Amino acid sequence: MNTVLLLIHVMVAVALVGVVLLQRSEGGALGIGGGGAGGFMTGRSAGNALTKTTAVLAASFFATSLALSILAVHQKPASTILPAGQGGLAPLQVPAAPSPAIPQAPTAPSAPQAPQSQ
């Protein structure tokens, strides 16, 4: 269900981008589009069709976004990290720091031994 809805959502998004890019510029931003009689899809009826198509695609984009978010809330979490007691990972155990060793008093140097003769 999620996969099908996600595919529909992506197709609607791509179609919405395409329809918005087909619309005639209202003059100004980049100085392109809007002028000339030989433009693609010119005329009042084409403008109304593109406007209605944009509205329908925008509404369906909103609806699929809302449906995907509702489905995501009602599903089990896919994470393996769950709160303690719910079968997730065990809490982290910090090992106790070893106590510092007490330094020993230095021992007196021993007298050098004489070499043994054979």
pLDDT, residue 32, reads 55
DSSP 29-98: SSS-SS--SS-TT-SHHHHHHHHHHHHHHHHHHHHHHHHHHHHHHTSPP--S---TTTTSPPPPPPPPPP
Q: How confident is the model at residue 90 (pLDDT cuts 50, 70, 90)?
A: low
| Res. 10 pLDDT band, cuts 50 70 90 | very high
Say what the pTM is: 0.52
Q: How far apart are CA 24 and CA 39, in angstroms?
A: 9
**Which are the contacts of 40, defined by CB distance < 8 A and separation ≥ 6?**
22
Instruction: Please determine, for residue 14, whether its predicted confidence score (pLDDT) is greater than 70.
Output: yes
pLDDT in tens, 19-63: 999 887 766 555 555 555 555 555 556 668 888 999 999 999 999
Q: What confidence tier does 98 reach under pLDDT thresholds 50, 70, 90?
A: confident
Residue 72's contacts (CB-CB under 8 Å, 6 or more residues apart) are: none
Angle, alpha carbons 80-81-84 (nearest 5°):
125
> Which residue would you say has higher pLDDT here, 56 or 116?
56
**What are the residue ranges spanned by the domains of the chain?**
2-26+45-73
- Tokens linked to 114: 């004489």
Decide: 1 and 71 in contact? Cβ < 8 Å. yes
User: What pLDDT is attached to residue 87?
Assistant: 58
